Amino acid sequence: MTPYSTALRLQTREVDEIKLAIRLEAETLAATADSQRALEHTLIRERAVQQLWHARDAWEARMRREQARLAAEYKASDARLAALRRQAAEAYGKMRAIEEAETRWRSAQEAVEAAAEQAEADDLSAGRFLSVPRRRRNES
């Protein structure tokens, strides 16, 4: 575990939540587009049937309002989706920055550990080197 582990988990969770929001918004966008297409087909079909119907103007006005509502809903959903995509890119960038910081920290820790091990090995070698001449002096 590193000092960055918690931040990385939080950022990963945020990226996952944004991915989910993007998927849901994309589904809303697709459903709105499907509703628009279905309404257009209904308009075409009903206009053909209602050529002689007296309430045609009121019905067409209602259908135009529904078209306008669906178009506004589609536009709003598209804007939310674009905002979520920008948010996802930002969150992913933050996550990558935290991951890189964690990698640098781990490398620094490994370098510190390697330096400590080397220093210990140097101290042991120096100790052996210094203890050898003393024995020779005592033997002479």
Q: Dump pLDDT digits (tens) for 125-137.
A: 877 776 655 555 5
Domain residue limits, the chain: 5-102
Identity at 69, one-letter amino acid code: R
105-107-111 Cα angle (round to 5)? 115
**pLDDT digit string, tens, across residues 54-84:** 667 777 888 899 999 999 999 999 999 999 9
Q: What is the pTM of this model?
A: 0.57
